[in-house]
Chains A and B, each alone.
Chain A
């Protein structure tokens, strides 16, 4: 079964850092476009970041550029979101998701992690 299992959420103070993990099983991350999407409490979905199959193409929503990075451990089949200089407005449930990887890239997310809550508060 193809699935994503997330870990790493929690409470962090403003200005702090946190790393989220996303473990893939049933498929290889190195074959997939992978995405991070977040949802602030009671709000809608917001794309945060993506990474392509070879790891060379990454993109971030403007509000997190320079503060968040995305990386991968191909040996363990893990995806990571490293978040630093966290702000109160980064408080959200963060999801990792697998994106369509064909051509043209349709960008739909067919497998989602369960989500982890990141709370930025003093």
Chain B
């Protein structure tokens, strides 16, 4: 199975900051990498798919990059509503499709 490792696991930042979350796969996964945002008590929300494609309706301050094994999610200027947990997910070598352990972004 492909293991996904996110870093950091916890991140403290302020409104207006630029933040980057990284995700590394144990095996090459091309660009079959997706990013989700989850707020407490809610279902995850798709932010970015295929490593760098912004899902419709998602603010442009979110961006994704990377390929093969190393990927990043960047929020260019943090807004209050961005404080949440973020997950990466690979869907290249499946089944199973696997998620990273999550990055909790807090104020």
Interface residues of A (CB under 8 A from B): 35, 44-47, 50, 59-62, 95, 100, 105-110, 112-115
Nearest CB on A from B67, distance (A): 14
Residues of B within 8 A of A61 (CB): 95-96
Interface contact B32-A114, CB-CB below 8 Å: no
Question: Which of B36, B97, B101 is the most central at the interface, judged by chain A CB atoms within 10 Å of its CB?
Answer: B97
Interface contact A109-B46, CB-CB below 8 Å: yes
Residues of B within 8 A of A115 (CB): 43
> Which of B44, B94, B100, B102 has a CB less than 8 Å from the CB of A107?
B94
- Cα–Cα, bound, A50→B96 (Å): 10
Interface contact A100-B98, CB-CB below 8 Å: no
Given A106-B49, A108-B50, 4 other A-B residues pairs in contact with their CB atoms under 8 A? A45-B38, A47-B98, A106-B34, A113-B43
Interface contact B87-A50, CB-CB below 8 Å: no
- Cα–Cα, bound, A64→B94 (Å): 16
Residues of A within 8 A of B69 (CB): none
Residues of B within 8 A of A47 (CB): 95-99
Interface contact A46-B50, CB-CB below 8 Å: no
Interface contact B95-A112, CB-CB below 8 Å: no
Is B89 in the interface zone, CB < 8 Å from A? yes
Residues of A within 8 A of B49 (CB): 100, 106, 108, 110
Determine the interface band of chain B, counting residues with CB < 8 A from chain A: 20 to 34
Within 8 A of A (CB), among B68-106: 87, 89, 91, 94-102
**Known A50-B95, A106-B34, A107-B94; contact A112-B45, beta-carbon cutoff 8 A:** yes
Residues of A within 8 A of B36 (CB): 45, 109
Interface contact A108-B95, CB-CB below 8 Å: no
Is B55 in the interface zone, CB < 8 Å from A? yes
- Cα–Cα, bound, A46→B19 (Å): 25
> Which of B55, B94, B99 has a CB less than 8 Å from the CB of A44?
B99
Nearest CB on B from A115, distance (A): 5
Nearest CB on A from B29, distance (A): 11
- Cα–Cα, bound, A106→B98 (Å): 13
